[in-house]
Amino acid sequence: MNEGYRMFFLVCCVVLTVLLLLCLVRAIKGPRLADRIIATNMIGTVTIAIIALLSVYLGESAVLDISLIYAVMSFVSVIVLSKIYMGRFVEWESERGAQEEEKEEQEHGA
């Protein structure tokens, strides 16, 4: 492989690694749970891109299988996190509705 291409692949991997670290910061700091789920999805996507670039850089097509397996694992983890988030949201909404009903009963009873 040409030296220019090797340098290009390494620069791309470094840029993707920086983006991965920024997504990690968002996953930790994210003000809402939805931000954390999206950051987790982005971490998985960037990792897949890094693995694919390393596969081309190393000339090993077998490494792409790892990338595909990681893609499936990332997809399943985001689906599970979304289901947990939706469960918590429904629970929160029902608690909020119960509190509002209780508040209305107190206002009408007084």
- Reported as a single tens digit per residue, the pLDDT across 64-84 is 999 999 999 999 988 988 888
**How far does Cα 109 stand from its chain's mean position?**
48
- Reported as a single tens digit per residue, the pLDDT across 18-43 is 999 999 999 999 898 888 889 989 99
How far is Cα 33 from Cα 56, in angstroms, rounded to an integer? 35
pLDDT for res 110:
58
Whole-structure pTM value: 0.75
Q: Which residues contact 71 (CB under 8 A, 6 or more apart)?
A: 44, 48
Query: Taking every pair of C-alpha atoms in the chain, what is the biggest distance, in angstroms?
Result: 83
* DSSP character at residue 17: H
Is residue 89 within 8 A of residue 38, CB to CB? The reply is no
Percentage above 70 pLDDT, the chain: 97
